[in-house]
Amino acid sequence: MVVANRAARAIAGIDADTLRAMYRHMLRSRMLDERIWLLNRQGLVRFWVSGMGQEAIQVALGMHVRPGHDWVAPYYRDLALTLVLGMTPRDQLLAAMAKADDPNTGGRQMPAHFGCRRLNIITTGSVVATQFIHAAGIALASKIRGEDAVTVVTTGEGATSEGDFHEALNFAATHSLAVVFVVEDNGLAISVPTSKQMPTPNVSDRATGYGIPGVVVDGTDPVASYLVCGEAVARARAGKGPTLIDAKVPRLTSHSSDDDQRRYRTAEALETDRTHDCLGRFAARLGEQGMLSARDEEAMRAKLLAEMDVATAQAEAASDPDPESVLLHVLGDA
Amino acid sequence: MAVKTYLEAIREGMRDEMRRDDRVMIFGEDVGFKGGVFGVTEGLQREFGEWRVMDSPLAESCIVGVCIGAAFNGMRPIAEIQFQDFILPGVDQIVSEAAKIRYRSNDDWNMPLVIRAPFGGGVHGALYHSQSIEAMFCGVPGLRVVVPSNPYDAKGMLVAAIRDPDPVLYFEHKKAYRSIRGEVPDHEYTVPLDRVRVVREGRDIVIFTYGLMVDTAVQAAERLAPDGFSVSVVDLRSLRPLDRQGIVESARRCGKVLIAQEANLAVSVSSEVSAIVAEECFEYLDAPVMRIGGPEVPAMPFAKPLEDAYLVDVDKLESKLRRLAEY
C-alpha cells in the first residue's frame, strides 16, 4: 500500500469523512454477510442470499437517501443498503435465524426479504420486479401531496426482463415521478448470462425508450457510484423525473446458499469477479490518499467484529416465533 | 329517500368518501375525462382533479401495483379494472403482493386498497367481457371479496371497503348498473363486509346466491309461492370470508338448499357453500344440496342463442327449485 505524504481532503469532491464512513458501511455489511454464511454452514441459518461484491453501489445509493423521509423498495441482495438506512446487524441476524423479533418479517419470510416501516423500507416478497411498480405508486403519492420525497428501487438485472419493470419505467417516466431505478447488474440471472437475457449489453440502454436518462456506472467504485446516485436523487427531488442506473457488479458468491456456481461458471470467470471486489480496492485507494491507514482499518475491523459477536449472541438467544402466531395478521381490525 | 341505480350508488360512494378523505383516489383505464367505459366515475375528475381521478396506462399490473405503492405511502386508492376478464395481468400484484403484505411483514405494513371490476354476462360481451371469475380470488387468504346486489349495499359496502385496512376486491355486475334501482340514503352509512342478508324470508327452501342472480332468485321464489312453497333468498354479499354463521342458520331453518351463481360450478363459491352446509347442517337437511350455474365451458359465447344457453335465467332457476321442492 502506497501511503501519501499528506492526506488528501477529498476525492472528486467527496470529503474524507464521508469516504471513510462509506468504507465502514461496506466493511460492516461484508463482515455481517460473512458471518451469516458461517452460521448457514453451521446450520443456524437455513438459507442465505448474499450481497457480497455489491456493497459499493448500495452504500453510495444509501448515502443519498433520507431515512424515514425518502422511500426504498429494495431487493434481496441489499444487505448493505439496509444497514446504511439504519437497520442493524442484530436486526438482520434475527431475520437470518428466523426469530420472533426479526423486524423485517418476524421470521415469516426467508432471510433477506427486507422491510421496515419506521425507515420507509417497504416489505418485499420473493417475486422479482413487483417492487418497481410499487416504487412508481409511492412516488405518485408523494407527487399528489406535493412532497419532495424520493423513492429508490433496486433489482438485479435478471428481473428487468419482467413486464413490471417496463410498466414501472413507462409510468414513472410519463409522469416525471421522483424515482431512481438502480440495477445491480451482476451479469447473471442465477445461471443465465446477460447475453441470453437481453439484446443489448446494458440495461440502461432501455432508458432511451422511456425518454429518461440511462447511466452505466462501475458499481464497485464507491466514488463514481456516489456521484451518479447523487445526481439521480437530486434530479428526482427537483421534480425532473426518474433515472435508470445500471451498476456493474461482480457476483462473489453463488446465487444462494442452495446453489453452487462452480457448476455453471468457469474458474476464470470466478477469478475475474474476485479481482473486481470493491472492498479491498477501496481500502487501497483510501490508503493511497492518506485517508485510511492500515492501522485505522484494523481498528475498524476489530470494532465491527465485536459488534458482530454481540449481535450473533443476541440473535441466537432470542425467542423463536410462537407456533400459535401462525394464524395472526391475515386481516386487521376494520 | 332517493331512488338510484346501482351505478349511481357506486359513484356516490366514491364521491362521498373522496369529499370526506383526501387520501382517497381512483386509478384506472379511462376513468378520468371519459368517466370510465360504463360511466361509473363520470364527473369525478371534474370535481377532484387529474391526480386523484387518474387515467392509467393500459396495463393491469401497473394499475394494481401503482395503487399498492400509493397505499404504502398513505393513500387510500381505488383501482378500477375495466372488465373483470382483464384482471389477470394484475393477479401477481393482487395475490403475491397485496394479499400477503400484512402477513409477510408481521403486521408492520397493511394494504388499504380497493379493486373494483365489473363482471358477469347477458350484455353480449362474449368470452372476454362476460366472465365471472371471482372464485379465483376466494381461496386467497388476505383478501376480501365482495359483490353487492343492490344500490343500498353497493354504496354502503363500497364505503366500508374504502375504509377497510386490507385489500378488498369489489365486483360489480355490469348488467345491474342501470337495470337495478333502489333507495339510497344521502347520509353517510356503511354496510358490513362479512354478513349475508336475508332478502326474502321462507321456510321450505333457501337459495344462496350473489350479484344479479339475487334478483333472478327472488323472481323464481315468487313463482313457487302460489303452489305453497315458501322459499328464502339469501344474498351472500361477501364471498371471502363467507358468513359461515349466516349460511348455517338459513340452511338449518329451511332444510333444503339451492346455490345459484352465474359462474361455472367446479371449484366455485357454490362448492364452498356446499361444503359448509355439509359440515354443519347434515342432520338438518331434507334433500341433497343442489347447485345451478354456468356450464363447464371456457366462457360465455357471443351469439344470442349461445348466450341464453349459458345463462341461468328465471325459468331455469324455477325448474331447479321445483325439483328440490318436490324431492
Mean pLDDT in consecutive groups of 10 residues from the start of chain B, 327 residues:
97 98 98 98 98 98 98 98 98 98 98 98 97 98 98 98 98 98 97 98 98 98 97 98 98 98 98 98 98 98 98 98 97
CB distance B186 to B2 below 8 Å:
yes
Tens of pLDDT along A119-168? 999 999 999 999 999 999 999 999 999 999 999 999 999 999 999 999 99
Establish if A62 belongs to a structural domain: yes
Peptide bond into B298 cis (omega under 30): no
Tens of pLDDT along B40-61? 999 999 999 999 999 999 999 9
- Which residues constitute the domain of residue A237? 14-315
Q: Does A123 contact B109 at a Cβ distance shorter than 8 Å?
A: yes
Q: Tell me if residue B312 falls in helix, strand or coil.
A: coil
Q: Report the gap between the CA of A5 and the closest CA in chain B (Å).
A: 51
Whichever domain contains A210, its CATH number is 3.40.50.970
H helix runs in chain B, sequence order: 6-20, 44-48, 60-72, 91, 101-104, 135-138, 151-163, 176-179, 213-224, 244-254, 269-280, 304-310, 314-326
Number of domains in chain A: 1
Q: Does A130 contact B92 at a Cβ distance shorter than 8 Å?
A: yes
Establish if A326 belongs to a structural domain: no
Strands B168-173 and B114-119: parallel
Residue A44 has what pLDDT?
97
The answer to whether the complex's ipTM is over 0.95 is: yes
Measured between CA atoms, the residue of chain A closest to residue B190 is: A334
* Fold of the domain built from segment(s) B197-326: Rossmann fold (3.40.50)
Residue A201 has what pLDDT?
94
Q: Does B109 contact A115 at a Cβ distance shorter than 8 Å?
A: yes
Domain ranges in chain B? 2-184, 197-326
Beta-ladder partners of B205:
B231
Tens of pLDDT along A282-331? 999 999 999 999 999 999 999 999 999 999 999 999 999 999 999 999 99
Establish if A6 belongs to a structural domain: no
Establish if A87 belongs to a structural domain: yes
Tens of pLDDT along A270-281? 999 999 999 999
CB distance A317 to A94 below 8 Å:
no
The secondary structure of residue B285, as a DSSP letter, is -
CB distance A304 to A27 below 8 Å:
yes
A contact residues 106-145, partner B, Cβ 8 Å cutoff: 106-109, 113, 115-117, 122-123, 125, 127, 130, 132-145
**What average pLDDT does the segment A88-116 reach?**
98
CB distance B12 to B155 below 8 Å:
yes
Q: Does A331 contact B142 at a Cβ distance shorter than 8 Å?
A: yes
Tens of pLDDT along B22-35? 999 999 999 999 99
Helices then strands (H, E): number in chain A?
Answer: 10, 9
What does the alpha-carbon distance between residue B18 and residue B251 come to, in Å, rounded to a whole number?
A: 40
Nearest to B103 among A108, A137, A333 (CB): A108
Fold matches, B2-184 and B197-326: yes
Establish if A3 belongs to a structural domain: no
Residue A5 has what pLDDT?
55
Residue B129 is a catalytic residue:
yes
Tens of pLDDT along A165-208? 999 999 999 999 999 999 999 999 999 999 999 999 999 999 99
Residue A221 has what pLDDT?
98
What does the alpha-carbon distance between residue A210 and residue B161 come to, in Å, rounded to a whole number?
A: 35
- φ, ψ of residue A267 to 5 degrees: the values are -60, -35
Strands B168-173 and B144-146: parallel
Q: Does B109 contact A122 at a Cβ distance shorter than 8 Å?
A: yes
What does the alpha-carbon distance between residue B90 and residue B83 come to, in Å, rounded to a whole number?
A: 12
Over 90: is that where the pLDDT of A1 sits?
A: no
- Please give the share of chain B, as a percent, with pLDDT higher than 90: 100
CATH of domain B2-184: 3.40.50.970
Tens of pLDDT along A2-54? 555 577 899 999 999 999 999 999 999 999 999 999 999 999 999 999 999 99
- Exposure class string for B35-48: b at 16+ Cβ within 10 A, else e: bbbbebbbebbeeb
The grid coordinates of residue A34 equal 460473512
How would you write B162-211 as a 3-class SS string? HHCCCCEEEEEECCHHHHCEEEECCCCCCCCCCCCEEEECCCCEEEEECC
Residue A6 has what pLDDT?
72
Q: In this structure, how many other beta carbons lie within 10 angstroms of the beta carbon of residue B150? A: 21
Q: In this structure, how many other beta carbons lie within 10 angstroms of the beta carbon of residue B142? A: 21
The residues, any chain, with a CB within 8 Å of residue A190's CB and separated by 6 or more, are A158, A255, A259
Burial of A222 (0-12, 13-18, 19+ CB in 10 A): buried
A contact residues 13-32, partner B, Cβ 8 Å cutoff: none
Q: Count how many residues are written for chain B.
A: 327
Q: Does A137 contact B67 at a Cβ distance shorter than 8 Å?
A: yes
- Chosen for mutation from A133, A171, A174, A210 (greatest number of chain B CBs closer than 10 Å) is A133
- Hey, is the C-beta of A173 within 8 angstroms of any chain B C-beta? no
Beta-ladder partners of A72:
A121, A152
Mean of per-residue pLDDT scores for chain B: 98
- Hey, is the C-beta of A170 within 8 angstroms of any chain B C-beta? yes
Q: Residue B39's Cα: distance from chain center in Å?
A: 18
